[in-house]
Amino acid sequence: MTELRKKMIRDMQLRRFSDRTQESYLSVVTRFAKHYKQSPDLIPAEKAQDYLLYLLNERKLSWSSCDVHANGLQFFYRVTLGRSSTFILPPRKHAQRLPEILSATEVERLFAAVSNIKYRVILMVAYGGGLRLSELVALKVTDIDSQRMMIRVEQSKGNKDRYTLLSQRLLNELRAYWKIYRPKTWLFPGKTPDKQISESCIQKTMILAKIRAGIRKNGGVHVLRHCFATHLLEAGTDLRTIQMMMGHSSVATTARYTRITANRIRCTPSPLDLLVRPSQV
């Protein structure tokens, strides 16, 4: 590892960047250096702007991906190198796509399609607690509070702790899983007990389960978190409670799920049904 890379890592750690952000920014600078075949500290800032245009116009990367590259390069130049350079892309509206929510029946089919209890329980925890993928792999055995019927989510997005639901059904499944696997530290260890299970492994499980269950809707493991919020809303749970369990900083973020709740749509009469047909006059 070069001294420059060590310094950038140290700079990010001092600012308490998440592991995911650190990996992303390091990857950005590495690709930038490979593109120009030079050490990144020798590349002038003007070329960084040219590189962003290359990503937009030739590589055809999405606007959000280019934002990540701009932020990573800006941090590298301004903080690690101590140069006053700014790479800000002009604001642009991002396409807003609603997730494809699984019905309760489809969720049950999904679980039934996973024969291995460990991987079935992983998907059940994702849905039953509304967890992000990164939160799922970071769960420890001690995070399951069976006395208070809660799941503790430690130092998640925004470096915040929170608690979410632990249903009796999920607790029963977790106990059956524990009797077989006896995890010690990580609730879902990887190939070795001292390592977490990989995110890619869980995503593969989700993909295979959807195929076996005959589910054609889009979305990986994160769709189960969307289902958690949507199904709770449809059951009458208030937005503020869902916000706390999901770890959203603003209730406005949680309120987006009101756009996809089936109850609101089903309970709204269609204008077609409101028409008076000639035969009824």
Catalytic, 231? Answer no
Under DSSP, the state recorded for 260 is: S
| Terminal-to-terminal C-alpha distance of the chain | 82
Catalytic, 225? Answer yes
Catalytic, 157? Answer yes
Catalytic, 248? Answer yes
Enter the tokens of residue 122.
Answer: 């992983």
Catalytic, 94? Answer no
Structural contact between residues 226 and 257, judged by C-beta atoms closer than 8 angstroms: yes
Of the candidates 157, 204, 212, 256, the residue annotated as catalytic is 157
Alpha-carbon gap, residue 11 to 7, rounded angstroms: 6
Residue 243's H or E segment, with its range, is helix 239-246
Structural contact between residues 206 and 220, judged by C-beta atoms closer than 8 angstroms: yes
The alpha carbon of 179 is separated from its chain's Cα centroid by a whole number of angstroms, namely 29
Structural contact between residues 126 and 224, judged by C-beta atoms closer than 8 angstroms: yes
Of the candidates 31, 35, 78, 132, the residue annotated as catalytic is 132
Catalytic, 132? Answer yes
Of the candidates 25, 77, 119, 257, the residue annotated as catalytic is 257
Catalytically active residues, by annotation: 132, 157, 222, 225, 248, 257
